[in-house]
Chain A
Amino acid sequence: MFFNEEFETLPREALEALQLKRLKAMVARVEKSVPFYKEALAKAGVTADSIQSLKDLQRLPFTYKQDMRDSYPYNLFAVPMEDIVRIHASSGTTGKPTVVGYTKKDIETWSELMARSFMAAGVHKGDIIHNSYGYGLFTGGLGAHYGAERLGASVIPMSGGNTKKQIMIMQDFGSTVLTCTPSYSLFMAEAAKEEGIDFRDLKLRVGIFGAEPWSEEMRRDIEGKLNLSAVDIYGLSEIMGPGVAIECCEAKKGLHIWEDHFIPEIINPETCVVLPEGQMGELVITTITKEGIPLIRYRTRDITSITYEPCICGRTHARIARMSGRSDDMLIIRGVNVFPSQIEAILMGVEGVEPHYVLIVERKDNLDTLEVQVEVGENLFSDEIKHLQALSSKIEKQIKEMLGVTCRVRLVEPKSITRSEGKAKRVIDNRNKA
């Protein structure tokens, strides 16, 4: 079942011809309208006219998340603000978020790609989509919402949190599709069980899970406990939001990336050399139709591999493998992006805290937990329990307020955090991502 059969099954040759045409047009747009790209392209010695084949993409400069931060908030936008109809943002390392803007056409494209993604996952008109992705600056909620409406399905804009109510609505409204993070789906199933509700008795048929890394084992676990077909979805706000790539329900083997709108490359993150099909490396994406904020060779930092092998579902678009990690130190905790440097900045803002800390991430009862261990040196020490407890809760509160993630601060003895030569080991991630 296709949402846009013509484009989803475009023969490889025609698809690549379309990509080249759109790439050239996009480069021509940004070299005129975005000073950052005008400079970067001139430096690389590339003009839109000099792009002759898709191979020439490799001559184009990379765009890094840092470039987006440096352009805060609107300097990478390629159209006047009056043409921007929506603004989203994701958290950044410096407290300033990464901002993206969408034109009316961008929203239409996003809605279509998300509708295609739903369809690929086995969702269709007539389904009741229970959307538990967060609504707000985060792209997850609204991205899935618009796609659901575009598809013609009934969408319940639940957003995250309030698990009891989620379960009640799912049960009473007869939801057939669930969209949320994979860990939250299991958390809800467990919570329902305590209320005497078995998720397997609900009408849920399809689960579309993303925004955090998960494993094949977890898929089996979810499918068993929720009695639905679970598919992996990929997206990032810089590129668009959810719906950049999705698994098809037929194969569930790799995520189709919508190549008529995005050109994926896999590179070695250190040498920046483009890697051949099948090799693991960093995913780099060029947006070729975006108007609001087109990006050339955006470094996603996500580690995956790509295959162009035909898929049994009939789609001709390449498939990327399930994300297997990050080439930087970003953590995804309950769908929230967290950089250790953000936590460090908060800790350093607390008087007496020394730069010795470690973050321990675990998955307990299917929910990610973050523990921040802070060494208690003489400057921090008080011989009264209440002062130390006030200190822990102060740090917990600041992290919650600034990063939106709940954590537990644990005070530890000096030198109990392992010192290492060179790069300190700041993160112990005990989640099973195998």
Chain B
Amino acid sequence: MYVEQISIFIENKFGRLAEVTRILGDAGVNIRTLSLADTSDFGILRLIVNDTEKARTVLKERGFTVSKTDVVAVEIPDRPGGLADILQVLDGDGINVEYMYAFVERCGENAVMIFRFDETQKAITTLTSKNFNVLPGERLYSM
């Protein structure tokens, strides 16, 4: 039920983001969604792409530091309080969110959020037991 995400270390230097996206584009890798966390010196670009392995290989070849992380995609009802409900359930089970961001596409009527938890497996169990829809990676890569 995990979704594969790749994370890339990027210095806060002119043109670095453009270079990463160009490398991926030239390799025919399509970015499904992304988030950028940044500090004054560096940033971490987190991507979900249609071909994780290929993206990793081409970026490594070009000297980038890349890592693969398992994240969780969850459908969230697109209404006020939708996100609050899910966070409350997680909070109740003592699960921490390290970071999260929104997926670009919708899944039917619902929004999709990407989560990185401190305890991934436990989070999935909790969410599914409360009838939240956890999306498998394959669905996202091709969405």
A414 near B64 (CB under 8 angstroms)?
yes
B42 near A388 (CB under 8 angstroms)?
yes
Specify the chain B residue showing the minimal Cβ separation from A381: B65
Within 8 A of A (CB), among B26-73: 37, 39, 41-42, 44, 46, 63-67, 69
Determine the chain B residues whose CB is within 8 A of the CB of A376 once the complex forms.
9, 42, 65
A414 near B44 (CB under 8 angstroms)?
no
A410 near B41 (CB under 8 angstroms)?
yes
Q: B106 → chain A, closest Cβ, in Å?
A: 25
Determine the chain B residues whose CB is within 8 A of the CB of A410 once the complex forms.
41
Residue A216 CB within 8 A of the other chain: no
Residue B112 CB within 8 A of the other chain: no
Q: A332 → chain B, closest Cβ, in Å?
A: 26
Q: A156 → chain B, closest Cβ, in Å?
A: 40
Q: What's the Cα separation between A411 and B10 when bound, in Å?
A: 10
Q: What's the Cα separation between A283 and B97 when bound, in Å?
A: 61
Q: A82 → chain B, closest Cβ, in Å?
A: 55
Most buried by A among B9, B10, B64: B9
Most buried by A among B11, B64, B99: B11
Residue B109 CB within 8 A of the other chain: no
A381 near B41 (CB under 8 angstroms)?
no
Total number of residue pairs linking A and B with CB closer than 8 Å: 50
Q: What's the Cα separation between A388 and B10 when bound, in Å?
A: 12
The count of chain A contact residues (Cβ–Cβ below 8 Å) is 18
Most buried by B among A376, A380, A383: A383
When A378-B65, A383-B67, A385-B44 are in contact, do A413 and B39 touch as well, CB less than 8 Å? Answer: no
Most buried by A among B39, B41, B64: B41
A413 near B44 (CB under 8 angstroms)?
no
B9 near A384 (CB under 8 angstroms)?
no
Residue A412 CB within 8 A of the other chain: yes
Specify the chain A residue showing the minimal Cβ separation from B98: A384
The count of chain B contact residues (Cβ–Cβ below 8 Å) is 21
B10 near A413 (CB under 8 angstroms)?
yes
Is chain A's interface secondary structure helix, strand, loop, or mixed overall?
Answer: loop
Determine the chain A residues whose CB is within 8 A of the CB of B42 once the complex forms.
376, 388, 411-412
Determine the chain A residues whose CB is within 8 A of the CB of B10 once the complex forms.
413
Q: B90 → chain A, closest Cβ, in Å?
A: 18
When A383-B46, A384-B98 are in contact, do A413 and B65 touch as well, CB less than 8 Å? Answer: yes
Determine the chain A residues whose CB is within 8 A of the CB of B39 once the complex forms.
385, 388-389
B11 near A412 (CB under 8 angstroms)?
yes
A385 near B65 (CB under 8 angstroms)?
no
B65 near A383 (CB under 8 angstroms)?
no
Determine the chain B residues whose CB is within 8 A of the CB of A378 once the complex forms.
65-67
| Subset of 23 A-B contacts with CB under 8 Å | A376-B9, A376-B42, A377-B65, A378-B65, A378-B67, A381-B9, A383-B5, A383-B7, A383-B116, A384-B44, A384-B99, A385-B37, A388-B39, A389-B39, A410-B41, A411-B11, A411-B42, A412-B42, A413-B16, A413-B63, A414-B63, A414-B65, A416-B11
Taking A383-B116, A411-B41, A413-B16 as given, write out 8 further A-B residue pairs in contact, using a Cβ cutoff of 8 Å, ordered by the A residue number: A378-B66, A381-B67, A382-B67, A383-B69, A384-B98, A385-B44, A412-B42, A413-B63
Which 9 A-B pairs rank lowest in CB-CB distance, beginning with the nearest?
A: A383-B7, A415-B63, A381-B65, A383-B69, A413-B11, A376-B9, A385-B37, A410-B41, A381-B67
